[in-house]
Amino acid sequence: MSCRRTAAARVYVALTGLVLLALAGCGSDNSPSSADRPAVDPITGEELELLPQVSAGVRQFADPNVLVVLRGSATPAAGATITEVMWTQLSGPEVTIPDPQQLQPAVVVPDLLEETELTFLLGVEDSEGRTNSAVAFLYVRPLDVFARAIGGTVGEQEETAVFSVKLNAPQTADTVVNYVTRAGTAEEGSDYVATQGSLLFAAGETEKMVSVRLIDSDPEEGSEYFSLDITVVSEANPASNSAVMLIINNPDVIVDDEIAFINPGPLTVAVGEGIDNPIDPDSIDSPGTLVYTSSNPTVATVDQQGQATAVALGSATITAAKAGGMASYDLTVVPEAESLTLSVSESVDVEIGLAVFSGTATIDWGDGTTAVVNNRMLEDIANTGGLSIHRYGQAFTGEVRVVFSHGLNALKGWYNAGAGWQYDVDVFIDSERLEVLNLLGTNSAVNGDLATFSDSRALRELRVNVADGNLSGELSGLPGSMTLFEISAGQGAITGPLAGLPSGIVRLIVDGSNTISGDVGDIPASMEDFRVENGANTISGAVAQIPPSMSSFTLGGENTLAGNIQDLPVGVVSFRVAGENAIGGDLGLLQNEPGITFNIDGQNVITGDVANIPISVIGMFLGGNNTLFGDIQNLRAAFNGFAVNGQNTISGDLGLFDAEGPDLSIAVRGINTIEGIVARIPPRIIGLTLDGNNTVSGGIEGLHADMVIFDIDGNNRITGDLGLLQNSALTNLSIRGDNGINQLTDPPLWDPVNLNRLILDEGDFDAFGFSSTQVDDLLIFLNDRLGPAPFSNSPIIVRRFNDSPRTFASDDAVAGLEAKGYFVETNFEIEP
């Protein structure tokens, strides 16, 4: 292979004002270049000064269907002249360049419906055979119009130019569009015949054509243009638009070479390698110099003999262009082979997902077997089952070296074995290009220190979800590239201040005996999902300091957050904080996205009218000394949980609740005055705990069958027959006040299979209470139906005024209940 250029002919590519080396030239002999033998020697400053200076202008912005001039310029070095100019299109929908050998040709922007970037390459050669090039960027921004005209390019030898007129959507009624030609550099009467008229679009029609007759006049004149203006005749949708027609006046015949590389690609090479992929000589018919460029010289460079050299990981497109045509191929640069050493025991499955840019990659499992991995994207590995699975035989134990060929981009490992997989994260200490690591398995254990990964510049996702282990470390040990870190309970402790988090982290999920400290203002601005479950964390700061990007915030421990609840970032949909927080503010001032829930421990002092709680809130638990007020029935229909401690003064009627909506649990502490009739409580309320001076009334047998907790303090006046309850879901039935429940159908219809708390206390509303026999029957009935108490000393208390005391007939039942873990108390027993 001989050189067609001297050392002084090496090429630089100018992109948006930056000069990037494109490595041109050839070696000192006919041998190909390689990582150890670069394609060319470095270019010198003197050689750079000899190149023609080329500019393609600044980035341009345009609408579709308009005329744009590509603004190229070229200046030769002293003693030389510019001998050849050639524009070619690099990317985007095809655009006709009528005069590609002019520095500033005019083109018609194509009809585009989406924002699109078009790129054009300007190649220049001087009288000394030296070449240079630049790239022009044209950004097209479509307009949202009711109707548009579409032009194009036409040769003057053609008899007519045809415009298209389109409506953006079919209409339900007839639509009239007027049109008229308008002169540009092309003149009426000498270059085209002026025309005007109207187009009638019947209902449903969207496109019609307008033909304009051309006049073949002066063969020496250059390309010219004229326009078609349209106006929509409609009171509902008045609109106007315009399109350009570019007339190529008797264009010279340009040979259209079907230029082709010997290998059309895509091709894959490792970092540092060279690739020689020449143009097929049989595909070149016209004279002129080929200009080679790389779309991304930071990934791969190319010299002017077409020799590409891989520089860094990534992708690039190599293009060859000349007056007669152009060709390109895609090149992917991958790392050199990488290995991972694991300690394996008998019958261990190892699953590895390998993402490769193109082609295939090979895994050498280290025991004499290999697997081929097909091309897949990183994010598709887990979703498409694209994992290579290998089982080491029972006779194979010890260390194994797993080797990955070209294509390593990410490693995902799931390690599962009957006897468990025990290993230390130190095995990954040399995996510098590891991007994603998942360590999952119910029988496995992961040990080690997070600092193992601190020097990684690629690891961005680390998930550890195993049953055991002591993986620990400080947040500052996470690599700066990390965007996601998840670690399950059962591991060691994650410690350190929030200020040690990687600056670009998006998701942090940590569960266990952690001791994380700091101020919420130290959480990186990129954070969206922050969940530090459990532990003795001590994080402080104000609500307003939480990053605006946050959507989920969970914090266990002994935290002390302050500030106002309405200062939460608007994107937060879950806010759970344990500790001695002192958050105040007004719920009515929240502006969060729909679906937000709160769970805030501490000494909070939040207020608000129930009716003013935004529709975006669907659930809350507020600990502390809160002071909510208003009518309970004004809770939004979307609520699924409403639990508020403090000195609340909520009133209203339970029977006025919206019956539609999700299941709802209510627990309100304070000095509330809520009323209602038992039978009118809607079935969507499945939990009801009310403190205060409430006055619920009606027959207990009217309680709906889905109620799980019915715990009401106050001056309630509930009556009826306990044996007629039709509710087996109840776990807690606690009623205080002036109740008159004094009947027990025998045998009872009630099946209290889930009951763990029964309190009927302080009632003196009715002169008649349970008889001694009814009390005995109730205790015997409960002993027969209830299993072991779920909590120590679960109460069974039936002690009201006017209830008769139980007798010795229920002694065995009481003993049985106490043996099961229940605390039993009734009115004083009658001695036998």
d(CA 808, CA 806): 7
d(CA 677, CA 747): 26
Residues 6+ apart with CB under 8 A from 635: 610, 613, 642, 657, 664, 666
Interhelix angle 811-819/772-785, nearest 10 degrees: 40
Give the helix/strand (H/E) hosting 554.
strand 552-564
Query: For the range 617-623, what are the long-range contacts, defined as Cβ-Cβ under 8 Å and sequence gap of 24 or more?
Result: 617/587, 617/590, 617/592, 618/594, 618/662, 620/644, 622/598, 622/646
Least confident interval from 5-14, 116-125, 193-202, 540-549? 5-14
Mean predicted confidence (pLDDT) in 3-17: 23
Q: Please, are residues 470 and 447 in contact by the beta-carbon 8 Å criterion?
A: yes
d(CA 615, CA 596): 9
Assign 432 to helix, strand or coil.
coil
In sequence order, what are the beta bridge partners of 462?
437, 485
- What is the reported pLDDT for 336? 65
Q: What is the DSSP letter of 378?
A: G
Mean predicted confidence (pLDDT) in 817-830: 86
- What is the reported pLDDT for 187? 87
Q: Which pLDDT tens digit goes with each residue over 33-88?
A: 333 333 334 445 566 678 888 898 888 988 888 889 999 999 988 888 888 888 88
Mean predicted confidence (pLDDT) in 436-464: 77
Mean predicted confidence (pLDDT) in 710-719: 92
d(CA 295, CA 281): 23
User: What does the longest C-alpha to C-alpha distance in the chain come to?
Assistant: 131
DSSP states along 433-472: T--EEEEEEEEEEEESBGGGGTT-SS--EEEEEEEEE--B
Higher pLDDT, 408 or 351: 351
pLDDT band at 655 (very low <50, low <70, confident <90, very high): very high
pLDDT band at 306 (very low <50, low <70, confident <90, very high): confident
- What is the reported pLDDT for 434? 67
pLDDT band at 189 (very low <50, low <70, confident <90, very high): confident
**pLDDT at 649 exceeding the cut of 90:** yes
pLDDT band at 291 (very low <50, low <70, confident <90, very high): confident
pTM above 0.95, yes or no: no
d(CA 196, CA 24): 56
Q: What is the DSSP letter of 33?
A: P
Mean predicted confidence (pLDDT) in 700-722: 94
Q: Please, are residues 692 and 714 in contact by the beta-carbon 8 Å criterion?
A: yes
What fold, for 147-248?
Immunoglobulin-like (2.60.40)
- What is the reported pLDDT for 113? 87
- What is the reported pLDDT for 412? 38
Exposure b/e, 615-651, CB count within 10 A at least 16 = b? ebbbbbbbbbbbebbbebbbbbebbebbbbbbebebb
Higher pLDDT, 721 or 828: 721
Radius of gyration of the chain (CA): 40
**pLDDT at 101 exceeding the cut of 60:** yes
| Closest C-alpha among 320, 287, 315 to residue 302 | 320
For the chain, domain boundaries = 147-248, 335-468, 686-826
Least confident interval from 35-39, 153-157, 385-389, 462-466? 35-39
Least confident interval from 284-293, 690-699, 763-772? 284-293
| Closest C-alpha among 726, 813, 727, 797 to residue 763 | 797
In sequence order, what are the beta bridge partners of 192?
188, 214
Task: Give all strands (DSSP E) within 565-595, no chain letters.
Answer: 574-579, 582-586
**pLDDT at 416 exceeding the cut of 60:** no
Higher pLDDT, 642 or 380: 642
Higher pLDDT, 702 or 35: 702
Q: Kindly report the number of other CB atoms within 10 A of residue 677's CB atom.
A: 15
In sequence order, what are the beta bridge partners of 605?
584
Q: Please, are residues 448 and 426 in contact by the beta-carbon 8 Å criterion?
A: yes
- What is the reported pLDDT for 758? 95
Mean predicted confidence (pLDDT) in 187-199: 88
Percent of the chain with pLDDT over 70: 78
d(CA 670, CA 625): 9
d(CA 357, CA 331): 10
**pLDDT at 404 exceeding the cut of 60:** no
| Closest C-alpha among 422, 415, 501 to residue 454 | 501
Which pair of structure tokens corresponds to residue 757?
A: 């708390």
- What is the reported pLDDT for 37? 33
Higher pLDDT, 114 or 22: 114
- What is the reported pLDDT for 645? 93
**pLDDT at 617 exceeding the cut of 90:** yes
pLDDT band at 399 (very low <50, low <70, confident <90, very high): low
Which pair of structure tokens corresponds to residue 150?
A: 């579409």
Q: Which pLDDT tens digit goes with each residue over 498-553?
A: 999 999 999 999 988 889 999 999 999 999 999 998 889 999 999 999 999 999 99
- What is the reported pLDDT for 552? 95
What does each C-alpha distance from 757 to 514, 578, 709, 710, 792 come to in angstroms? 35, 27, 9, 10, 11
d(CA 512, CA 299): 43
**pLDDT at 710 exceeding the cut of 90:** yes
Pairing of strands 338-344, 388-392: unpaired
- What is the reported pLDDT for 293? 79
785 backbone dihedrals φ, ψ, rounded to 5°: -95, -25
Q: Please, are residues 70 and 58 in contact by the beta-carbon 8 Å criterion?
A: no
**pLDDT at 781 exceeding the cut of 60:** yes
d(CA 38, CA 23): 9
What does each C-alpha distance from 369 to 340, 352, 354, 365, 392 come to in angstroms? 15, 14, 17, 6, 10
> Could you tell me how many residues make up the chain?
832
Q: Which pLDDT tens digit goes with each residue over 208-252?
A: 999 999 887 666 667 889 999 999 887 666 778 889 998 887 554
- What is the reported pLDDT for 274? 85
Look over the chain and give the mean of its residue pLDDT values, rounded to a whole number: 80
